[in-house]
Chain A
Amino acid sequence: GQQVMQIPQYQHVQEGEDFTTYCNSSTTLSNIQWYKQRPGGHPVFLIQLVKSGEVKKQKRLTFQFGEAKKNSSLHITATQTTDVGTYFCPRSLNAGGTSYGKLTFGQGTILTVHP
Chain B
Amino acid sequence: EAQVTQNPRYLITVTGKKLTVTCSQNMNHEYMSWYRQDPGLGLRQIYYSMNVEVTDKGDVPEGYKVSRKEKRNFPLILESPSPNQTSLYFCASSLSIPRGTAYGYTFGSGTRLTVV
Whether the Cβ atoms of B48 and A107 lie closer than 8 Å is no
Which residue of the partner chain, among B50, B99, B107, contacts A101 with CB atoms under 8 Å? B50
Q: Say whether, besides A31-B101, A98-B101, A99-B101, A105 and B106 are in contact (CB < 8 Å).
A: no
Within the assembled complex, what's the spacing in Å between the Cα atoms of A38 and B64? 27
Within the assembled complex, what's the spacing in Å between the Cα atoms of A33 and B102? 10
Count contacts on B: residues with CB < 8 A to the other chain.
33
B residues within 8 A CB of A88? 42-43
What residue in chain A is nearest B94 (Cβ atoms)? A101
Shortest Cβ distance from residue B114 to the other chain A in the assembled complex, whole angstroms: 17
A residues within 8 A CB of B41? 107
What residue in chain B is nearest A47 (Cβ atoms)? B104
B residues within 8 A CB of A35? 105
Which residue of the partner chain, among A102, A107, A108, contacts B58 with CB atoms under 8 Å? A102
Within the assembled complex, what's the spacing in Å between the Cα atoms of A106 and B40? 10
B residues within 8 A CB of A73? none
Within 8 A of B (CB), among A29-43: 30-31, 33, 35, 42-43
* SS of A interface (majority): loop
Within the assembled complex, what's the spacing in Å between the Cα atoms of A45 and B106? 7
Q: Does B81 contact A (CB under 8 A)?
A: no
Whether the Cβ atoms of A104 and B45 lie closer than 8 Å is yes
Shortest Cβ distance from residue A66 to the other chain B in the assembled complex, whole angstroms: 19
* CB 8 Å contact bits of B9-51 with A (1 = contact, 0 = none): 0000000000000000000001111010000111111001110
Given pairs A98-B100, A101-B49, 14 additional interface contacts (CB within 8 A): A42-B90, A42-B108, A88-B42, A88-B43, A97-B99, A98-B99, A99-B100, A100-B56, A101-B96, A102-B45, A103-B48, A104-B59, A105-B42, A106-B42
5 contacts between A and B (CB under 8 A): A99-B101, A101-B48, A104-B59, A105-B44, A106-B42
Top 10 closest A-B pairs, CB basis? Answer: A98-B100, A101-B31, A45-B104, A105-B43, A107-B42, A42-B107, A101-B48, A101-B102, A43-B107, A99-B102
